[in-house]
Amino acid sequence: MTCKTILLSAAALAIAVAVMPTARAAPLDCAAAKTQADLATCTAKDAASADTVLNAVYKALSGRLAAADLERLRDAQRAWISFRDKECAFRTKPYADGSVYSSLVETCKAEVTKARLAQLQHQLQCPEGDLSCVPQTGGAKPVAAAPGTKPKPATAGAAPAASTPASQNDTRPCVQSAGKAKSDQYVSQCIQVSTATHPPCNGQNACSMMIEEIRRGCAMIGNDNPPAFCSAYKD
């Protein structure tokens, strides 16, 4: 075989490899994860998801508190983060030398974070007069009523105005298509009613995606003490 033939063969092989379609790895099914690597990936994703939702709820609650109450919330959250880390160290350090250690840590963090999430969600959607909750002062200011009419009470996280519905065909981030204030409103409502493991309650998602999740969450709650804004999402 000549040198020229060898070079041509190598070039043909390189071209064949270049045009060969790359096989895509199948998405990881965490419900069926068995290997330690898959379990580690899934537990880390679960913990990160719980942390993302917790941060969104914390932000929504922070916007509704008076300055002194907000400072106490910040202190409590800092203390909780320290508690989370120390609690998970207590639970998992005996297994630090094992391959399962990282999965145990992430599982613990997800569990403790979800417990904290439930506490802050309770604060976020407390009915007026519930003394287990901190009074909320944020939210939209009431609009002055026309003479001879009764003003409607302002409700935190009120439903979107019917005159500005989100387009189902608008796939832009909600914060871009509807503005930050409206996007934050959808995020807050979505967080309060969503039961999804990975809820789409994020201003970088389309408004229509969050609205659909709000409708679904409100429908699941039904008449079992739903948030006031659910009435605007009934079909």
Encode pLDDT of 106-128 as tens digits.
999 999 999 998 899 888 877 77
221 and 202 Cβ atoms separated by less than 8 Å:
no
Q: Confidence band (pLDDT; 50, 70, 90) for 14?
A: low
pLDDT at 211 over 80: yes
Rounded-to-integer distance, Cα 83 and Cα 111, Å: 13
pLDDT at position 148 over 50:
no
Tokens of 131: 């003394």
The reported pLDDT for the residue numbered 142 is: 32
For the chain, the domains span: 35-124, 174-233
**Most distant CA pair in the chain, distance:** 101
CA angle 134, 220, 202 (to 5 degrees): 60
> Can you tell me the distance from the alpha carbon of 74 to that of 88, in angstroms, rounded to the nearest whole number?
21
Gap between the Cα atoms of 149 and 191, Å rounded: 33
The residue with greater pLDDT, 82 or 218, is 82
pLDDT tens per residue across span 160-203: 443 344 556 788 888 888 888 888 888 878 877 887 766 788 77
The rounded distance, in Å, linking the Cα atoms of 47 and 57 is: 16
Give just the sign of the alpha carbon dihedral 68, 71, 77, 82.
negative
Alpha-carbon distance of 35 to 40, in angstroms, equals: 9
Give the residue, 60 or 157, on which the prediction is more confident: 60
The residue-averaged pLDDT of 91-118 equals 94
Tens of pLDDT along 43-89? 888 888 888 888 888 998 998 899 999 999 999 999 999 999 999 99
- pLDDT value of residue 234: 79
Please give the Cα distance from 206 to 77 (Å, whole number): 30
Sign of CA dihedral 195, 201, 206, 207: positive
**Stronger pLDDT, 154 or 88, i.e. the higher one:** 88
DSSP 135-165: ----SPPPPPPPTTSPPPPP-TTPPPPTTSP
pLDDT value of position 151? 38
| 8-state DSSP, 226 | -
Which class in CATH covers the domain with range 35-124? mainly alpha
Task: Quote the strand ranges of 7-84, DSSP E.
Answer: none
223 vs 64 pLDDT, higher one: 64
CB 47 within 8 A of CB 110: yes
Q: Count other Cβ atoms within 10 Å, centred on residue 101.
A: 15
Average pLDDT over all residues of the chain: 77
Q: Is the pLDDT of residue 230 over 60?
A: yes
pTM of the entire structure? Answer: 0.54
CA separation for the pair 160, 188 (Å, rounded): 12
Distance from C-alpha of 17 to C-alpha of 168, rounded to nearest angstrom: 43
